[in-house]
Chains A and B, each alone.
Chain A
Amino acid sequence: MAHANEHAHPVTGPKTYAMVLLALLVLTVITVQASYFDFGPWNTVVALLIASAKGSLVALFFMHLRHDKFNAVIFVGGLLFLAIFLIWTLFDIANRQPVLPSNLKTPVQEFPGAPLGGPVRPSTGQPRGAPAQ
């Protein structure tokens, strides 16, 4: 076939796309419902997993990546670098020691209203040792 490369872009029909849209809408309902349940520390993970399922559907079907290995490698390569950026940063956040004012040359106010001087609880701005709100 002289123009075989024309066949390299198979045409997906509206029925498939409608099914994908339906799946995306169902997943949207699921993610909203899931936000009313408390999975403790897994809340964000659950939300991101559902978002990733939706994102995969969009990339594979709407963006035609399931028929397009070359560009899929480019895209997933980009996502890989984003994952390195995000995960290594979160390692740092998880293992960082609290900032003690005694280590600083000048007192630092974390944000307006936060107490000066004493070590602060970064999440609330209240002094350490005070009961959590």
Chain B
Amino acid sequence: MSTATPSAHAHAEGGHTPFLQHHFREMSQQFDAAKIGMWLFLVTEVLLFGGLFVGYGIMHARHPEAFVAAHHHLDKTMGALNTVVLLVSSFTMVLSVWAAQTSRKKLLVIFLLLTLACAGTFMVVKYFEYSHKFHEGLLPGKYYSHKGDTVPGQFLFFSFYFMMTGLHGIHVLLGMAAIAWLVWRALHGHFSAEYYSPVEITGLYWHLVDLIWIYLFPLMYLIS
């Protein structure tokens, strides 16, 4: 297998990569430890968003008419577009991991930049959606000022909409910062088949952000 060759070679020379921390026995141990840490963090993220999903479930069950009426203010096309953009970004992210695993250093930079571009597109679409809602007064809680509603209580939906998509948007921005850092390191040639833990665990984080959007999209845009 191509992944094993460069690593075995380095060890045969008795050399250690500068990226092996002294408290780890070998690269694979360091890699597995980093991955477990990331997965534990992702579980806390699932529970963080989980609280919001449960709150959404309670309010949707109590005020179904208000939620259905409010969701008509969202643009399904924009939501579907953002879903496709995020799915493609997950695809380019996993290809960056593949490029790192197989030491394709140029492709790694290209795929990371493509991921960054998709993430940027997602935020731009989100910006247009948000500014439309600010303009219409479709705001959370007491700031809701949309006129001419026939169904009361629609502000409840927008409280969840802004909390959940807002928190998700913050995660996208943090993911973009992490990917930009990966680009910088990849340009310095840090990543190869032997050492790519940062690419792998940033990828895991990015896929979780995608995973959360996969649930947000039908719950926000496609209620009927």
**Contact A123 to B62, CB < 8 A, known contacts A6-B4, A7-B4:** yes
- Alpha-carbon separation in the docked complex, A58 to B222 (Å): 21
- Alpha-carbon separation in the docked complex, A28 to B203 (Å): 21
In the complex, the answer to whether A11 meets B3 with C-beta atoms within 8 Å is yes
Residues of B within 8 A of A25 (CB): 84, 87
Number of chain A interface residues as a range: 35 or more
In the complex, the answer to whether A77 meets B43 with C-beta atoms within 8 Å is yes
In the complex, the answer to whether A90 meets B101 with C-beta atoms within 8 Å is no
Residues of A within 8 A of B62 (CB): 93, 122-123
In the complex, the answer to whether A51 meets B214 with C-beta atoms within 8 Å is yes
B181 to chain A, nearest CB (A): 20
B117 interfacial by beta-carbon distance below 8 Å: no
15 CB-based A-B contacts, threshold 8 Å: A6-B7, A7-B3, A11-B3, A11-B98, A17-B94, A28-B84, A35-B76, A61-B94, A62-B210, A68-B35, A71-B36, A77-B43, A93-B58, A123-B66, A133-B65
In the complex, the answer to whether A48 meets B63 with C-beta atoms within 8 Å is no
Name B's interface SS. Answer: helix
In the complex, the answer to whether A13 meets B87 with C-beta atoms within 8 Å is no
Contacting residue for A51 out of B47, B88, B101, B215, CB 8 A:
B215
Report the 4 A-B pairs with minimum CB-CB distance, sorted nearest first: A78-B43, A35-B222, A47-B218, A82-B50
- Alpha-carbon separation in the docked complex, A76 to B180 (Å): 30
B145 to chain A, nearest CB (A): 12
Number of chain B interface residues as a range: 35 or more
**Contact A70 to B36, CB < 8 A, known contacts A11-B3, A28-B80:** yes
Contacting residue for B218 out of A21, A50, A61, CB 8 A:
A50
Residues of B within 8 A of A18 (CB): 91
In the complex, the answer to whether B57 meets A75 with C-beta atoms within 8 Å is no
**Contact A6 to B8, CB < 8 A, known contacts A21-B87, A70-B36, A81-B47:** yes
- Alpha-carbon separation in the docked complex, A9 to B98 (Å): 11
- Scoring A residues 78 to 101 as 1 if CB is less than 8 Å from chain B, else 0, what string do you get? 110110011001100110000000
Residues of A within 8 A of B90 (CB): 21, 58, 62
Residues of A within 8 A of B214 (CB): 51, 54-55, 58
A116 interfacial by beta-carbon distance below 8 Å: no
A129 interfacial by beta-carbon distance below 8 Å: no
B146 to chain A, nearest CB (A): 13
B207 interfacial by beta-carbon distance below 8 Å: yes
- Alpha-carbon separation in the docked complex, A86 to B60 (Å): 13
Give A92-130 interface residues, CB cut-off 8 Å to B.
93-94, 110-114, 122-125
**Contact A51 to B98, CB < 8 A, known contacts A71-B39, A75-B39:** no
Give B1-16 interface residues, CB cut-off 8 Å to A.
1-4, 7-8, 11
